[in-house]
């Protein structure tokens, strides 16, 4: 119970950081420019994860300034960053409880800020399994997320799915840490 | 291929007489492996280009060694015999060096025009087994040498080799996944697609002139058909969702593939122009990866209808579905042998995959690879060999092995990863 509360709190604060960070595109862009390019090119899985931290942590500092300057833009090119990815178990496409929580938050973002945006749900798998089967599995994952968003009130006609199977891993690496990050559905605002 | 080959069977009478008398017993149990000498080609020109001509003997020795039928080695001629009639050849040095067979060749290369004549001799019986003469250009040398290796197999076993065929595969040489085509032995790799997107699962048409593949170039995994001789490329299937694992029927009239327009991946057949879609599977599970039997009457495919992906077989109209693989919890990539007697597939074993073969009735399930992770088996046209994608300590890429798993050799070379090989018909 305590553990769930902590995860819940952690995910809420993560979400707050994320939305705050992304609401402020200027700040995010500046932060990215400051990061030395060398660090960006090093694509070790652990680094990739760490890299997102500074952006999220520093963004809120400038948040007040920017939200005063510009109100939230609903058609922003980096709008996909508002959404958290949803993760899956190996060879599974059913939604875990944590995935349902994330989808609820994503649905909130869509309903409140992007009610008319076209959103594509990308289904992905880890590198294990056959590439062909993984294309079908990735689609199944994207459709699980799609169905759940629709039950939460998101308009079906605004949601589409595409599967990349194992072709577009989020992180490289051949261990459970990398695999867990790659078994996911991502949400992208499309034109 | 821009090649005008004139094939002239010389001394046809002696060759056919030999065929009637029965083939050499190269596979009988207990027999020692026969030894074949491959002599570098002799030039008939005044100023010979012997360096490039040496390719001919290299190619033949490589092909013959891969076949496993004989142990071939390059062996320079010890005598200065001129002429081809067996009566003119001193077989004694070859015999005393332990050879059972001898391949000799003579060539002329003038202004880029190649004429080459190959002969296979039975050293023990001092007679000619088969002979061929090829005309072409200098760049055809590898191809005509492979063609004679095919003839050697025909003479020794009654069935031609697959050495003039090609393998299509996915390569990341350019940084993303593009379809490439190479000779079966890895030479002459050429990019077929250059669209910068993700391109997957090539499949040859039965006449070997076109390739099916799935591409994301229009932001959806759609199925395309592409000519090998020009850049003509047409979309065959662009349904909403997946249009994947396309496979041409043996008579060339239809394509089996997996479509997800109904909600989940289901197997369909369509005309080769995409017309007349016919749904074969109706199942809430994932059904994909159809592989035709050589008579076109059945399809092997992958389905997770029982929980995990397994291989099933059904009639080409979707009736009579039967589970094929019983062992292993994750079996994929079925590929039906050209003779119809075996289905190769890959099974998840521990961390990776290995290639297995099984009879279509589910018997004789046999593991062929044991090293690293091995996927996407594809048979050569004669059923003698299987190409597959491998990740192993001796190097990742496209490998070729004999149908019993022996003689595994890496054939793809060059930058990037090489995956999903598929062998052309003859």
Strands B34-38 and A159-165: unpaired
Tens-digit pLDDT profile for residues B338-395? 999 999 999 999 889 999 999 999 999 999 999 999 999 999 999 999 999 999 999 9
As a whole number of angstroms, the distance between CA B150 and CA B146 comes to 6
Q: Which of A72, A94, A112 is where one domain is finished?
A: A72
Q: Which of A132, A140, A161 sits opposite B332 (nearest CB)?
A: A132
Q: Which of B198, B258, B265 sits opposite A167 (nearest CB)?
A: B198
Q: Do B264 and A140 touch (CB under 8 A)?
A: yes
Query: By three-state DSSP, how is residue A80 classified?
Result: helix
- Looking at residue B385, its pLDDT comes to 98
In this predicted structure, the answer to whether residue B1 has a pLDDT above a threshold of 70 is no
Q: What is the 3-state secondary structure (H, E, C) of B289-343?
A: EEEECCCCCEEEEEECCCCCCEEEEEECCCCCCEECCCCCCCEEEEEECCCCCCE
As a whole number of angstroms, the distance between CA A22 and CA A28 comes to 7
* Nearest chain A Cα distance for residue B163, angstroms: 28
Residues whose CB is less than 8 angstroms from the CB of residue B213 and which lie 6 or more positions away in sequence, other chains included: B179, B193, B199, B200, B201, B202, B203, B223, B224, B226, B246
- Looking at residue A54, its pLDDT comes to 36
Tens-digit pLDDT profile for residues A36-79? 333 333 333 333 333 333 333 333 333 333 333 333 444 444 44
* Nearest chain B Cα distance for residue A149, angstroms: 16
As a whole number of angstroms, the distance between CA A23 and CA A109 comes to 11
With beta carbons under 8 A apart, name residues in chain A contacting B308.
Answer: 91
Average pLDDT over residues B60-65: 98
- Are A104 and A41 within one domain? no
Q: Do A139 and B308 touch (CB under 8 A)?
A: no
Tell me which residue range forms the domain holding A148.
Answer: 76-191
Report DSSP state, residue B156: H
With beta carbons under 8 A apart, name residues in chain B contacting A137.
Answer: 286
Tens-digit pLDDT profile for residues B72-113? 999 987 666 565 666 678 899 999 999 999 999 999 988 889
In this predicted structure, the answer to whether residue A161 has a pLDDT above a threshold of 60 is yes
Q: Do A136 and B288 touch (CB under 8 A)?
A: yes
Name the pTM for this structure: 0.83
| A and B: number of Cβ contacts within 8 A | 72
**CATH code, domain carrying A157:** 3.30.1330.60
- Are A179 and A87 within one domain? yes
Query: Greatest CA span in chain B, whole angstroms?
Result: 73
Residues whose CB is less than 8 angstroms from the CB of residue A130 and which lie 6 or more positions away in sequence, other chains included: B289, B302, B309, B332, B333, B346, B353, B375
Q: Which of A131, A133, A162 sits opposite B309 (nearest CB)?
A: A133
- Are A111 and A190 within one domain? yes
With beta carbons under 8 A apart, name residues in chain A contacting B220.
Answer: 162
Q: Which of A72, A102, A132 is where one domain is finished?
A: A72
Let me know: does B296 contact B283? Beta carbons within 8 Å: no
Q: Do B333 and A135 touch (CB under 8 A)?
A: no
- Are A157 and A85 within one domain? yes
Residue of A nearest to B259 (CA): A136
Residue of A nearest to B197 (CA): A167
With beta carbons under 8 A apart, name residues in chain A contacting B353.
Answer: 130
Count of all residues that appear for chain B in the document: 426
Strands B266-271 and B178-183: unpaired
Tens-digit pLDDT profile for residues B295-325? 999 999 999 999 999 999 999 999 999 999 9
- Are A126 and A50 within one domain? no
With beta carbons under 8 A apart, name residues in chain B contacting A126.
Answer: none
- Average pLDDT score over chain B: 91
Question: Predicted confidence band at B230 (pLDDT cuts at 50, 70, 90)?
Answer: confident
Four-residue CA torsion sign, A130, B289, B179, B142:
positive
Which of A43, A132, A164, A173 to mutate against chain B (most B CBs within 10 Å)? Answer: A132
Report DSSP state, residue A81: G
In this predicted structure, the answer to whether residue B115 has a pLDDT above a threshold of 50 is yes
- Are A94 and A27 within one domain? no
Q: Which of A37, A56, A72 is where one domain is finished?
A: A72
Let me know: does B132 contact B9? Beta carbons within 8 Å: yes
Location of structure tokens 């009457």: B297
Question: Predicted confidence band at B36 (pLDDT cuts at 50, 70, 90)?
Answer: very high
Q: Is B229 exposed, middle or buried (0-12, 13-18, 19+ CB in 10 A)?
A: exposed
Question: Predicted confidence band at B46 (pLDDT cuts at 50, 70, 90)?
Answer: confident
Let me know: does A128 contact A38? Beta carbons within 8 Å: no
- Are A48 and A123 within one domain? no
- Are A102 and A33 within one domain? no
With beta carbons under 8 A apart, name residues in chain A contacting B216.
Answer: 164
In this predicted structure, the answer to whether residue B2 has a pLDDT above a threshold of 90 is no
Domain count, chain A: 2
As a whole number of angstroms, the distance between CA B201 and CA B172 comes to 13
- Are A149 and A82 within one domain? yes
Q: Do A132 and B201 touch (CB under 8 A)?
A: yes
- Are A52 and A142 within one domain? no
- Are A92 and A124 within one domain? yes
Q: Which of B264, B265, B346 sits opposite A130 (nearest CB)?
A: B346
Q: Which residues pair with B409 in a beta bridge?
A: B400
Q: Do B220 and A162 touch (CB under 8 A)?
A: yes
* Residue predicted with more confidence, B161 or B84: B161
- Are A131 and A38 within one domain? no
Q: Does A139 touch chain B (CB under 8 A)?
A: yes
Q: Do A133 and B201 touch (CB under 8 A)?
A: no
- Looking at residue B79, its pLDDT comes to 62
Domains and CATH numbers, chain B: 8-157 (3.40.50.10070), 166-423 (2.120.10.30)
Let me know: does B149 contact B57? Beta carbons within 8 Å: no
ipTM of the complex: 0.89
């Amino acid at each position: 119970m305590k553990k769930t509360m902590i995860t819940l709190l952690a995910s809420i604060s993560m979400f707050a950081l994320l939305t705050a960070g992304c609401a402020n595109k200027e700040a995010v862009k500046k932060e990215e420019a400051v990061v030395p390019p060398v660090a960006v090119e090093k694509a070790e899985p652990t680094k990739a994860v760490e890299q997102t931290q500074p952006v999220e942590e520093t963004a809120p500092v400038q948040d007040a300034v920017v939200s005063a300057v510009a109100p939230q833009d609903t058609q922003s090119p980096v709008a996909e960053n508002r959404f958290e990815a949803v993760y899956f178990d190996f060879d599974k496409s059913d939604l875990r409880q944590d995935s349902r929580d994330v989808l609820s938050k994503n649905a909130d973002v869509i309903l409140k800020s992007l009610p008319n945006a076209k959103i594509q749900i990308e289904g992905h798998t880890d590198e294990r399994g056959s590439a062909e089967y993984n294309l079908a599995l990735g689609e199944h994952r994207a459709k699980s997320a799609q169905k759940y968003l629709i039950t939460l009130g998101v308009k079906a006609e605004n949601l589409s799915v595409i599967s990349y199977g194992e072709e577009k891993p989020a992180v490289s690496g051949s261990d459970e840490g990398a695999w867990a990050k790659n078994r996911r559905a991502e949400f992208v605002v499309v034109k | 291929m821009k090649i005008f080959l004139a094939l002239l069977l010389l001394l046809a009478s002696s060759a056919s007489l030999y065929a009637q008398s029965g083939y050499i017993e190269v596979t009988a149990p207990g027999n020692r492996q026969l030894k074949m000498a491959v002599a570098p080609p002799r030039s008939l020109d005044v100023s010979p280009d012997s360096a490039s001509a040496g390719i001919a003997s290299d190619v033949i020795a490589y092909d013959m060694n891969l076949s496993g039928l004989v142990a071939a080695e390059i062996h320079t001629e010890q005598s200065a015999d001129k002429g081809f009639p067996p009566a003119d050849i001193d077989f004694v040095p070859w015999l005393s060096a332990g050879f059972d067979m001898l391949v000799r060749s003579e060539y002329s290369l003038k202004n880029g025009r190649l004429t080459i004549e190959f002969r296979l001799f039975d050293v023990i019986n001092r007679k000619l087994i088969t002979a061929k003469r090829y005309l072409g250009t200098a760049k055809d040398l590898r191809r005509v040498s492979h063609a004679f290796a095919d003839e050697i197999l025909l003479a020794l076993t009654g069935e031609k080799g697959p050495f003039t065929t090609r393998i299509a595969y996915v390569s990341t040489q350019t940084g993303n996944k593009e379809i490439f085509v190479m000779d079966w032995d890895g030479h002459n790799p050429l990019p077929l697609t250059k669209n910068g997107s993700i391109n997957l699962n090539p499949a040859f048409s039965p006449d070997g002139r076109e390739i099916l593949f799935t591409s994301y170039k229009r932001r959806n995994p759609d199925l395309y058909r592409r000519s090998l001789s020009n850049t003509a490329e047409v979309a065959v299937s662009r349904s909403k969702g997946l249009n994947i694992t396309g496979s041409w029927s043996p008579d060339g009239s239809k394509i089996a593939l997996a479509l997800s327009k109904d909600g989940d991946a289901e197997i369909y057949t369509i005309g080769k122009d995409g017309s007349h879609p016919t749904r074969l599977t109706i199942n809430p599970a994932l059904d994909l990866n159809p592989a035709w039997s050589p008579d076109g009457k059945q399809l092997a495919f992958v389905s997770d209808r029982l929980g995990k992906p397994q291989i099933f077989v059904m009639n080409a109209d979707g009736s009579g579905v039967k589970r094929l693989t019983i062992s292993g919890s994750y079996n994929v990539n079925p590929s039906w042998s050209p003779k119809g007697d075996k289905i190769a597939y890959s099974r998840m074993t521990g961390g990776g995959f290995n290639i297995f073969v099984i009879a279509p009735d589910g018997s004789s399930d046999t593991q062929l690879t044991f090293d690293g992770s091995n996927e996407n088996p594809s048979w050569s046209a004669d059923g003698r060999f299987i190409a597959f994608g491998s990740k192993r300590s001796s190097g990742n890429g496209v490998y070729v092995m004999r149908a019993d798993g022996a003689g595994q050799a890496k054939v793809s070379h060059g930058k990037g990863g090489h995956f999903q090989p598929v062998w052309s018909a003859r």
